[in-house]
Amino acid sequence: MKLLAPLRVLMPFAVLVAIWWGIKSGAQVPDKLLVAPPAVWASFVYLVTHGILAEYASASLRMIGLAAMISFVIGVPLGFAVGTNRYAARALEGTLRFLQGISGIAWLPLAILWFGFSNTTTLTIVIYTLIVPIVFNTMTGVRAIPENYVLALQSLGAGRLRIVRDVYLPGALPSIVVGMRLGMGYGWRALIASEMLVRQGGLGDLIFSARTFSQIDRIMVGMVVIGTLYIIVDRLLVQPIETMTIARWGILRR
Amino acid sequence: MAEKIEVSGFRHFFQTEGGPVQATGTIDLSIRAGEFVTLVGPSGCGKTTLLKAIAGFITPSEGSIVCDGKPVKGPGRDRGVVFQELAILPWRTVRRNIAHGLEIARVPRVQRDATVTRLVGLMGLVGFEDRYPHELSGGMRQRVAVARTWAADPEIILMDEPFAAVDAMTRLTLQEELGRLCVATRKTVFFITHSVEEAVFLADRVLVMTKRPGTIKAVLDVPRREAGGRDWDSFTSDPVMQKIAGEVMHLVHAERV
């Protein structure tokens, strides 16, 4: 059964490719609108062997990594500060929801006016997109911690720092991880969109430049890589941390 | 005898959007060192408010609370608290939950382990030391909560309906275990409950509260039994105990909300 698991995951992808190929050859779609899977594969091999894909993909990965780090370092303490203060939490909840409504992409025009067509623009957009769910989820996580945990620890003689370390941090961790995971999803999308406009490298730039020369094969390679990299980052990095904290502490089964 | 807890002229109001709501009437009470005092009253009478004030979680609107000659200014490790539920940390094993107070007090590892081992034995938690709370039953979790409080060795222990959320059978066992633990350690205990039988079974002295805003309407002494003699079999067959329980029941009954 274990051997069948990867097959179950890959099966729908195979179906997708089959449909794509079927439409291409069945309806005789011209090459300037859609190319067949072998052409995309050939393009992929070309981009890999010439180091082009590595360059663009690593630019995107570096950017999301940097943005994630900065967002985490700023967002988590901010979420804590807001979450432990009842009045601040109530006051900021509406603002955060409002900001969640304005996607990072909607900030692009303003960011471009401020920072030009530069990596700073992209970084700003991605950090903005990542940080809102991180702050929001950290705040929610902190606020969901039962008051008794804190009171009990105070009665055991714990000071403020101790309570942050022993109660707030571990108590909010699963929620922080959820925020990170959501943020990475939103951030990755915003990153690609920003790269398409800013044109300073990255997978978004790759596929948007390919459009200029109608390189459909290249666009499709880029899209597949964008999706694949997201899955890899999410499944191999973020999800294991989430499962670990939730399963071990039984947060959901209290 | 030394007064361990001295509450005088205590009265509390909660601030709500519709104005202040009176939580308790005026309460005076004093508890001697080593005494086990239970407070029984209808729900909403303000008994938890009183306990929270003694614990230092809330500041009384009126009156003063003095523990060991010092006015209460906030929570402290001289006053341990056992809650009804949701108090032990789900991300710590049984052992690390019980040792938490000692960890905070920077007690050396070896000594910490010895205390945990002793309490794990006393509270019937042997074999569960490395389990997480979600792997335990509700009764087991309350045992851990009790053990954690006792491990920190406070002079005063405040218990807020600690067995109200466990099933009736387990409750009987926990009450007996608590009785034994108290005989073994001689703490000053202030215990809140809405169960008349529990109040009389555990107490040296039972306080009965009126309905909200609650005041103390009666105080009944429960004659001290022989050490270790707090078990349900002898309690139910002891006419003196049954008479006191009947009296308390009568007093509480009149306060039905």
Would you say B197 and B31 are in contact if contact means Cβ atoms under 8 Å apart? no
Task: Check CB contact of B148 with chain A, cutoff 8 Å.
Answer: yes
Nearest to A108 by CA among A132, A125, A126, A128: A125
CA distance B68 to chain A (A): 16
Give the mean pLDDT of A61-67. Answer: 94
Q: Is residue A239 part of a domain?
A: yes
Q: Are the beta carbons of A254 and B57 separated by less than 8 Å?
A: no
Structural domain harbouring A170: 37-253
Task: Check CB contact of B104 with chain A, cutoff 8 Å.
Answer: yes
Q: What is the mean pLDDT of chain A?
A: 89
- A253 pLDDT band, cuts 50/70/90, is very low
pLDDT digits (tens, 9 = 90+) for A82-95: 888 878 888 888 88
Task: Tell me which DSSP letter residue B86 carries.
Answer: S
Q: Is residue A12 part of a domain?
A: no
With 0-12 CB in 10 A as exposed, 13-18 as middle and 19+ as buried, what is B22?
middle
Contacts with A117 (C-beta within 8 Å, 6 or more apart), sequence order: A197, A198, A199, A200
Chain B contact set for A148 (CB, 8 A): 83, 85-87
Q: Give the per-residue pLDDT at B250.
A: 87
Q: Which residue of A has its CA nearest to B85?
A: A148
Nearest to B202 by CA among B36, B35, B33: B36
Residue percentage of chain A with pLDDT more than 70: 95
Q: Tokens in use for B239?
A: 């006419």
Q: Look-up: residue for tokens 């720092």?
A: A161
Q: Are the beta carbons of B77 and A153 separated by less than 8 Å?
A: no
Q: Give the per-residue pLDDT at A252.
A: 45
Residue of A158, A171, A253 lying closest to B104 (CB–CB): A158
Residue percentage of chain A with pLDDT more than 90: 59
d(CA B103, CA B111) in angstroms, rounded, equals 10
Measured N-to-C along each axis, helices B109-122 and B138-151 cross at an angle, to the nearest 10 degrees, of 140
Q: Tokens in use for A7?
A: 């097959």
- A254 pLDDT band, cuts 50/70/90, is very low
d(CA A178, CA A170) in angstroms, rounded, equals 14
B217 SS3 class: strand
Q: Look-up: residue for tokens 């569960």?
A: B128
Chain A contact set for B145 (CB, 8 A): 152
Q: Is residue A5 part of a domain?
A: no
d(CA B150, CA A27) in angstroms, rounded, equals 78
d(CA A111, CA A123) in angstroms, rounded, equals 10
d(CA B97, CA B253) in angstroms, rounded, equals 39
pLDDT digits (tens, 9 = 90+) for A162-190: 998 999 988 898 889 889 989 999 999 99
Q: Are the beta carbons of A151 and B80 separated by less than 8 Å?
A: no
Q: Are the beta carbons of A156 and B100 separated by less than 8 Å?
A: yes
The CATH number of whichever domain residue A144 belongs to comes to 1.10.3720.10
- A249 pLDDT band, cuts 50/70/90, is low
Q: Are the beta carbons of A167 and B89 separated by less than 8 Å?
A: yes
CA distance B146 to chain A (A): 11
- Range 63-82 of B in CB contact (< 8 A) with A: 74-77, 79-81
Task: Tell me which DSSP letter residue B24 carries.
Answer: B
Would you say B223 and B252 are in contact if contact means Cβ atoms under 8 Å apart? no
Contacts with A89 (C-beta within 8 Å, 6 or more apart), sequence order: A82, A83, A139, A143
Q: Give the per-residue pLDDT at A22.
A: 92
Report H helices in chain B: 47-55, 94-98, 100-104, 109-122, 138-151, 168-185, 196-202, 232-237, 239-253
Q: Is residue A17 part of a domain?
A: no
> What's the average pLDDT block by block, 10 residues per block, for chain B (257 residues)?
84 88 90 91 88 92 90 91 89 93 93 92 90 89 92 92 87 86 86 90 90 86 68 81 86 80
Chain A contact set for B89 (CB, 8 A): 149, 166-167, 170-171
Q: Which residue of A has its CA nearest to B159?
A: A152
Nearest to B45 by CA among B255, B218, B201: B255
Domain boundaries, chain B: 1-78+158-257, 83-153
Task: Check CB contact of B86 with chain A, cutoff 8 Å.
Answer: yes
Quote the number of domains for chain A. Answer: 1
Whether domain B1-78+158-257 has CATH 3.40.50.12780 = no
- pLDDT of A248 over the 90 cut: no
Cβ count within 10 A of residue B142? 27
Q: Give the per-residue pLDDT at A152.
A: 93
Burial call B82-97: b when 16+ CB within 10 Å, e when fewer: bbbbbbbbbbbbbbbb
Q: Is residue A111 part of a domain?
A: yes
d(CA B118, CA B112) in angstroms, rounded, equals 10
Q: Tokens in use for A232?
A: 């890899």
Q: Tokens in use for B163?
A: 């067995």
Report H helices in A27-85: 37-49, 52-83
